[in-house]
Amino acid sequence: MIRTAIVDDDAVFCAFAEQCIAEYAAASGIEIETEVFFSSEDFFAHCGSGFDLILLDIELGGMNGIEAGERLRRTEQKEQSQILYISAKESYAMELFHNRPFDFLVKPVSKERLFAALQEYVRVYAANAEFFVFTHDRKHLRVPASDILYFQSNRKKLIVAAVHEYIEVYEKLETVLQSPQGSRFLRIHRCYAVNPQQIAAFSYEEVTLTNGERLGISRSLRQSVSERLLAAAHIRMLEGRRIP
């Protein structure tokens, strides 16, 4: 799923853009969730992160689109959201450069031009994206799969142990592991699934993660876990021997 935000104080354009995105989603078969905000302040007050693509108007009252882009790039998820700037003027190129926008559309925006931008986003970013989206403290949190050390089932909740933070969400471990990005994780216990890329060392009975944590492997899974980790280590060794 792609999460999209429209941040524009023009209600007519917001309705038009939202309809275009819905039509693109239906035509492409891609699930897209869209939220509309009529100011940058409203956007940051309600969320400010967790979106994949943000259609951001430059000429906003209060905090304008350039200032909003700067603030977005200072957040913890500063590079995970792509900014699609919208403006009635064409003279902003140099001012926008440091905010690293994905694209820039000049109003009036046609459906064809917006479709083309969405298609390019999907081609460049969404096709290879591997993120988990969780709801935490009433906000959507988008966590790269590569940053997650392990998942821990804790009754009705799931502890997401990432490189920089630990969060607790209402989710089931089985549901997470059944997702496309969840298939990369290795179940080592009824309550634990680890990211093989974050394993620094392992034995028959436990794994040691890159942050130094040690997690035990349940008896029933030791053979299968050992075989998978040894196979992965063998593949990495062979790849390391290849001559560029």
Block mean pLDDT (10 aa), the chain, length 244:
91 96 89 93 80 92 89 67 86 63 88 93 70 77 85 93 90 90 90 91 91 95 89 54 42
* Burial degree of 97 (CB within 10 A; 0-12, 13-18, 19+): exposed
Q: What is the DSSP string of 189-220?
A: ETTEEE-GGGEEEE-SSEEEETTS-EEEPPGG
- CB 186 within 8 Å of CB 201: no
Q: Measured between alpha carbons, how far is 132 from 68 in angstroms, rounded to an integer?
A: 24
Residue 146 is predicted with a pLDDT of: 82
Q: Dump strand ranges (E) for 90-185.
A: 103-106, 131-136, 139-144, 148-154, 157-162, 166-169
Residue 239 is predicted with a pLDDT of: 44
Please give the model's pTM, rounded to 2 decimal places: 0.57
* Burial degree of 110 (CB within 10 A; 0-12, 13-18, 19+): exposed
Q: Measured between alpha carbons, how far is 104 from 141 in angstroms, rounded to an integer?
A: 26
Q: Measured between alpha carbons, how far is 25 from 36 in angstroms, rounded to an integer?
A: 16
* Burial degree of 20 (CB within 10 A; 0-12, 13-18, 19+): buried
Torsion (CA) 225, 227, 228, 233 in degrees, nearest 10:
120
Q: What share of the chain is helix, strand, coil (3-state, %, to 5)?
A: 40, 30, 30
**What domains appear along the chain, each with residue ranges and CATH number?**
2-128 (3.40.50.2300), 132-241 (2.40.50.1020)
Nearest to 202 by CA among 181, 240, 232, 177: 232
Residue 51 is predicted with a pLDDT of: 85
Residue 243 is predicted with a pLDDT of: 39
